[in-house]
């Protein structure tokens, strides 16, 4: 299992406008990656495993300078 977090600035290019009414927005993104258990097993002498991992991502946009404001 691995957890990755990052912060991205939400800029005017994302909204498609040149002027942004809220230039202080930040997007917090958290990604959880999990390999299914068991990830490797042997049946009748043949080794096998899971070549994939599950990924779950959530993001939250907030205004850095206004407490309690979630976009």
Could you state, in order of their start, the residue ranges of all structural domains in the chain? 2-63
Residues 35-68: tens digit of each pLDDT: 877 777 888 888 887 778 889 999 998 888 888 7
Separation in Å, CA 43 to CA 13, 35, 37, 46, 58: 53, 20, 16, 5, 37
For residue 29, what are its two tokens?
């993104």
Q: How far is CA 11 from the centre of its chain?
A: 18
Residues 10-31: tens digit of each pLDDT: 876 555 555 555 568 889 999 9
């Amino acid at each position: 299992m691995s957890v990755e977090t990052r912060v991205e600035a939400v800029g005017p290019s994302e909204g498609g406008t040149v002027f942004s009414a809220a230039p202080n927005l930040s997007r917090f993104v958290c990604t959880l990656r999990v390999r299914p258990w068991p990830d490797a097993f042997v049946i009748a002498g043949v080794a096998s495993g899971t070549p994939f991992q599950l990924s779950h991502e959530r993001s939250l946009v907030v205004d850095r300078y206004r407490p309690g404001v979630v976009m």
